[in-house]
Amino acid sequence: MRRPGTVGGVARAALFLAVEATYTTGAALAVDGGLGRAAGQGAAPAPPCARPPGAGAREGHGADHRPPLTTPS
């Protein structure tokens, strides 16, 4: 791609990961403008799981208790 990254690009990636409905778990999202692929690198290995499988969100901290997300216009 060879174009510089922007703050907005990183913010959109963070928003994507923050939204619970994306069904993304245990994935590494490279926000590098394709530089990793250009260097012949594949995807980064997944980090170890932070909580045991099957462990849900703490009571009162699930999606029903979050304020709605807004995106900059």
What pLDDT is recorded for position 7?
A: 87
Answer whether residue 6 shows pLDDT above 70. Answer: yes
What is the sign of the dihedral through the CA atoms of 61, 66, 72 and 44? positive
Answer whether residue 8 shows pLDDT above 70. Answer: yes
What pLDDT is recorded for position 52?
A: 59
- The more confident residue out of 69 and 63 is 69
Among 28, 29, 37, smallest CA distance to 12 is for 29
Structure tokens at 53: 């499988």
What pLDDT is recorded for position 66?
A: 58
Query: Mean pLDDT over residues 30-37, rounded?
Result: 73
Q: What are the distances in angstroms from CA 65 to CA 37, 57, 61, 70, 72?
A: 38, 11, 6, 15, 22
The band of 55, judged by pLDDT with boundaries at 50, 70 and 90, is: low
